[in-house]
Amino acid sequence: MTTEEICLQYISQGKTPQEHLHNIEEVCKAGCKWVQLRLKDEDVVTYLDTAIKCRDICDQYEAVMIINDNVSIAKAVLADGIHLGLNDMNPQEARKILGDNFIIGGTANTLEDCIQQVDNGVDYLGLGPFRYTTTKKKLSPVLGLEGYKNILTGMKSQNIEIPVLAIGGIVENDIKDIFYTGVDGIAVSGMLTNQQDLKKTIQNIKVTIKGGVKNSEYNG
């Protein structure tokens, strides 16, 4: 994954599969290059149909496509990867099914989670939540900036090097401070859903990210 691909991931949102697809296309059209299709409580046929359409959209805009949780759907639609929560399939099992060319992301909330996920062979970590969010039903303890600093310091002391995405309730004004903690990217949902000027928002986010990365390196 390139720096541009890992700096901003859109986690799909919508009341229906059609809304998810509409929002994904709008975000891709506006310049986002990394999408996670996150459908909950849908039957397999609906999920598969939506994932196939999502694959077409991502291909059209040359975006990386990640499926949330469902390994069989990810394999069936030739997604680029899968994102697994702490209570989902073990990443080692997913790797056996999907092979070496699939990106496997893993959720983490503590330093211990990070170590466990890295030991299980994930390619990146979704570390959070940053703050309270209604997107997820069973929310882990909120980390905030200090939580990220402490966990990333702990990872560094153990020589763990892996891309880390901040996730959970992030708004545009948070981005610069979050990147000061040393994360590699952010995964967002509400911030990019139903935006009036989505292209400008994504451009602003990327500019802020670049500034935050430079400053975190300078101060680090």
Give the pair of three-digit tokens for residue 114.
Answer: 């990070």
Distance CA(26)–CA(130), nearest Å, equals 25
pLDDT of residue 52: 98
State the maximum Cα–Cα separation within the chain, in Å, rounded to a whole number: 50
pLDDT of residue 196: 85
Q: What is the pLDDT along the chain (220 residues), one digit of tens a residue?
A: 555 556 999 999 999 999 999 999 999 999 999 999 999 999 999 999 999 999 999 999 999 999 999 999 999 999 999 999 999 999 999 999 999 999 999 999 999 999 999 999 999 999 999 997 666 566 678 999 999 999 999 999 999 999 999 999 999 999 999 999 999 999 999 999 978 899 999 999 988 888 766 555 434 3
Domain parsing of the chain, residue ranges: 3-219
3-state SS, 44-112, equals HHHHHHHHHHHHHHHHHCCCEEEEECCHHHHHHCCCCEEEECCCCCCHHHHHHHHCCCCEEEEEECCHH
Distance CA(213)–CA(114), nearest Å, equals 21
DSSP-derived 3-state class of residue 165: strand
Quick one: residue 62, left, alpha or beta (phi over 0 = left, psi -120 to 50 = alpha)? left
Give the pair of three-digit tokens for residue 46.
Answer: 């609906």
pLDDT of residue 70: 96
> What's the CATH architecture for 3-219?
Alpha-Beta Barrel (3.20)
What torsion do the CA atoms of 60, 64, 66, 71 make, to the nearest 10 degrees?
90
Q: Is the peptide bond before 129 cis (omega within 30 degrees of 0)?
A: yes
pLDDT of residue 66: 98
